[in-house]
Every structure is written in structure tokens, then in C-alpha cells.
Structure 1
Amino acid sequence: MELRQLAHFLAVVEERHFTRAARRVHLTQSSLSASIRALESELGGELFVRNTRNVEVTEAGRALLPHARQTLACAEEGRDAVAGVRGLLRGQLAIGVIQTFGMLHLPSLLARYHRLHPGVRLRLRHGSVSALTAAVVQGELELAFVDYPLGLHADRTQARSLGDEHLVLAVASDDPLTARRQLRLQDLATRDFVEYRADSALRITIDTACREAGLERHICCEVDTISDLVELVAQGLGVTLLPSSALLPAGGRVTGVPVTPPIRRELAVISAANRLPTPAAAALLDLI
């Protein structure tokens, strides 16, 4: 079994069509078909069911798929590691980040990284903490910028703390609460809240703090994006608790008021605990 055969197999799986897959790997269709037949012969089973319109993956093909991906990824990491020893970073660096990460200005960081290591192609993915943590553990991402709690896979990650920040009560700029220098959480029981989705680490932090302070919030709207959350506050639909950095895109339309007891959010960058960061990932960690 050769790496090129696994690459051909993966191309057919993803394209579901031999002609498109052959074009992708720069082969004739007959050469690609011969490569797949040789792989099937070596493995002792058909990997695809072929018909005139498309290609379906067999049970044997589905069993091979994760191992093929892992093998090709390891080979690529090996090439990158050798290049790193020579002082030349190359390959791809896949990074995850939550929607609000105010501790670092990630675009500036990545731009600086690219100037130092132009041979590394960067890929950035947004997601929830639980989804990003799972992706790091499964090898889909090298690093992820997240907040606590990390969720089910926390014990399979290595976390490097980046510090913490306090949340503020976000209110519309014409709200009377903007005149207050500080607000007690208990005094907000009569206000309508708009909230970020319940499965987020940020929401878990907020729910825990409010419960401990004895505040039972009336939630009138729940959204999937922080940008929608801030805009709804600006329109006067309700108030919400957010990092102050999340309010910047709203300009002067939304004001952040400190709350007591303070709500602290800890931020971290995580990698998988069972493998060392690739040279490309290690260079980003050093830059941080």
C-alpha cells in the first residue's frame, strides 16, 4: 500500500466521481482506476460501488477512510517536521477560535506570523468551545483559542493560559443604567436579557455567576452569534453580559457597565495532550 494510492482513494471519496477525482490528482481516469483496483486487490475487498452517475463508498471503504486520512496527515506532518529542522516552516496550520476572544487581536497575530513564515498556509475556523476542543483532540485543528470550561475532552488537551477578563453588562447607550458606575447582579431581576446560545462556554460561565448571585434572568431572546447579540442590545431589546471587547463593533451605541460580584472569564490556547505541536504550531505558540 502506497501513500499515493491512499491519496487517490481519498480523492474519489471526496469527489464521488472518478473523472473529477482524476482531474484533482492530475491523472488520467484509466490510471486512477488502475490505482484503485490495485489497492482493492491488496486489501481484498471493493472500496467503491461504481455506476454511470456517481460513486458510492462501500462498508470496506468507510472503514478505511479515517485511517487513510490519518496516514496522509502523518506523512504531511513528517515532511513539515523535517523542513522545520532545516529552519523552513511549511504546510498548513489549522486554528480554531471562539467568536469573542478579546485577549489577543488574532488578525494582527496571524498577519505577523505570516510575515515570519510565509510558507505556512493558515486556516481559521470558528466554533463553540466544545466543538473546537473535540476538533483539536481528533487532529482536525492544531490549536484553538477558547475560554473555560473546556467540556468533555478537557483531560485530552494541554491548555496554556492567556489570562482572564471581566464581563460587563451591555446596555443600549440611551439606557438609564449607563449612568451607573457599577451594578449589582441582584438588581437586574426586572430587566429583559438577550443571551448567547446555551451550549457555549461563555453562557455556562454567565449562568453559573448569576445563579451564585441569586439572579434569575428573564431571557426574551437567544441567538447564535455575538454580533446579533450586540445589535439586539443596541436596538433596546434587552441587556446582556459580555466581554467589553465584544462591544467595540457597536461603536457608541452600546455601553458596558461593570457588575458586582465580578464575572471573570479565563482564556487559553489548547493543543492535543497526546502529541507534540507541529513546528508550525510551535512557532505560533512562541510568538504568543
Structure 2
Amino acid sequence: MHIDLRQLRHYIALVEHRSFVAAAAAVNLSQSAFSRSIQTLEHNIGCRLVDRASKELSPTRQGLLVLEHSRRLVHGAHNLVNEIHQFNGATTGVVRFGSGPAPAGGLVPRAVARFVAEYPAARTCFQVDHWQALNRKLIAEEIEFFVADTRQFESDPDYRVHKLAPQRWHFCCRAGHPLTEQAEVRARDVFDYPLATTFRPPNIRKILSDLSGRQDFLPTVECEHGYALLNVVRHSDTIGIACNANLRPYQMEGGLVALKLVDLAADQEEAFYTRYGVVSRVGYG
């Protein structure tokens, strides 16, 4: 019997995604190549691993047994590689990880700078993308971990989440904006102007819908990269959204101003804090 670790990884992905299409995308294979890999694994083992008649593609009894051993073997192989790297010298090698656009604007570069100062012989490669894409890269083992909003992973037993200190985010505008001349700024005042923000984080989407009173609210300018958005804000009357770490450099040079809304309800305050963390897979590293 010949069993390939790659086929075991593919089977794990199939069970996790319950879809040949989604699992193939997660491991960066065409659907036909992914299907052949699963079929080859089933042929080599001599049994069906998933119930294809089930909408959920549930594992068969034999499939559950194979899944348990697959995870152990794949995790063991990953840990072996890590231990060899550590044996060869913990101060060298390559660290590959991902970051969401907002953490990549301030938090992550500062952490990388400290890491490089401490381990100058190590290489660091990090990719900036939204959390869904970073999760696909994590499952495909293209990265070891990522830094992003952790809400989708906190209750998932297959993930390890290390929470980072929350940061307050603010509506902001350019210095000299008409809103800076008002004695008080209310939520409705913000929506008198164009808004530039990412719209992917669920907390931002919800709070903007609540504050605007429009469930179908959409920002005027939408982009994943925070610095690009803040430069739009800096050069127009557009209102932006930024957390403290990303906004601070602009405040120090006098380019942007944080807006304090006087009519925020107490139950809305939580939505104005980030929930960033370091997300990795259980059993890896």
C-alpha cells in the first residue's frame, strides 16, 4: 500500500470544507486533479472515504479512522521539519506568515522590525490579504500563521488563536475638515460626507448599517488597504475609519484628526474595538 502525505492533506481539506470545489481551491489544485488525488487515495486504501450521496460529504466509518491517522501523520511530518530547522539553528531559516490589511498598516511592520533586529540571519516573508484568503493559504501550508480578525476562528477546535490587545478605531477626517469646526460631532454628521473604508470586517459592516440607519449601506470608496484609504481621506472631505496604530502617524504630522462621536450608545462601543490575533492550525508548529 502506497500512501502519499499530499493525498492525506487533500483528504483533510475535503473533510474540513465538505466540498470538492472549495477543498480544491484551498490546496491550490484544479477540481479534476483534486478529485483524482482523493480517488487514488481511496484506491490505495481499498475503501470509500466519504459518502458522495450525502450533501455534506460525510466521512464513512473507515474515512473517520483514516482522518484521525491522517491528521496525526501530517502534523507529525510538520513537527519533524520544525525540529530539524531548530536543530540546524533557531536563528536562521524562513518565517512565512500572513497579515490582514489593517494589522499590516502598523502592528505587523513594528513586530517584524523587532524580529529582524533579534534574528538578522532569518528571512521573513509575509503576505497581505483578507482573512478568507489567508485561511486558504494556511490550510495549504503556504504560511505558518496569520494576523487578522479572529472572530471566525475562536470557537473552531482546529485553530489556535492568540489574542492581541484590542485597539480603538475611530472615524477620522483631514485637518481643516468642516466637522473639525463643530463643537460636537454626531453619527448623522459623519454620513453627510463620503465614507472610505474596508467593508469586510463584520463589526464595521454592522456598525455602519446601525449608525446610518440603512441596512443596505455601502461606502463611497471601498478598499482593503488602509493607507490607500487614509490618503483619500487626507486629500478630500471624505471620512475614513482607522485604528489607533494606523491613525497615529497621520495625527502626529497634523494631517488627520480623529472624530469623537458624542451620541454613541454604550452597546455600540464594543464594535469600535479590534479583535486581532495570531491564528494558526492546531498541531502545526
* TM-score, normalisation: structure 1: 0.59
- Please say if residues 105 and 246 of structure 2, whose CA atoms lie closer than 8 Å, have aligned partners that are also in contact: no
Alignment correspondent of 2:274: 265
Change (3 A) 1:166 1:145: same
**AA at the equivalent of 2:277:** A
Alignment counterpart, residue 204 of structure 2, candidates 190, 203, 206: 206
- Say whether residues 1:239 and 2:248 are aligned partners: no
Q: How many residues align structurally?
A: 214
- Say whether residues 1:160 and 2:156 are aligned partners: no
**AA at the equivalent of 1:245:** A
Q: Distance in 1 between matches of 2:84 and 2:220?
A: 55
Q: Distance in 2 between matches of 1:130 and 1:181?
A: 41
Change (3 A) 1:154 1:99: farther
Change (3 A) 1:100 1:194: same
Change (3 A) 1:80 1:207: closer
* TM-score, normalisation: structure 2: 0.60
Greater per-residue strand proportion = 1
**AA at the equivalent of 1:270:** V
Alpha carbon RMSD of aligned pairs, Å? 3.9
- Please say if residues 133 and 150 of structure 1, whose CA atoms lie closer than 8 Å, have aligned partners that are also in contact: no
Q: Distance in 2 between matches of 1:115 and 1:225?
A: 26
**% identical equivalent positions:** 15
Structure 1 stretches lacking a partner, 5+ long: 1-5, 7-57, 278-288
- Say whether residues 1:190 and 2:199 are aligned partners: no
Change (3 A) 1:194 1:146: same
Structure 2 stretches lacking a partner, 5+ long: 6-31, 42-72
How far did residue 162 of structure 1 move?
0.6
* Bigger CA radius of gyration: 1
Change (3 A) 1:239 1:272: same
Alignment map for 1:112-261 (pairs within 5 Å): 112-150=114-152, 156-179=158-181, 183-196=185-198, 198=199, 200-201=200-201, 204-213=202-211, 215-216=213-214, 219-248=219-248, 250=250, 251-259=253-261, 260-261=264-265
Q: Deviations over 1:161-206 (max 9, x none)?
A: 112111111112111222457633244332221232x3x22xx221
Q: Deviations over 1:117-171 (max 9, x none)?
A: 4453321111102211232233221121112433799553211111211111111
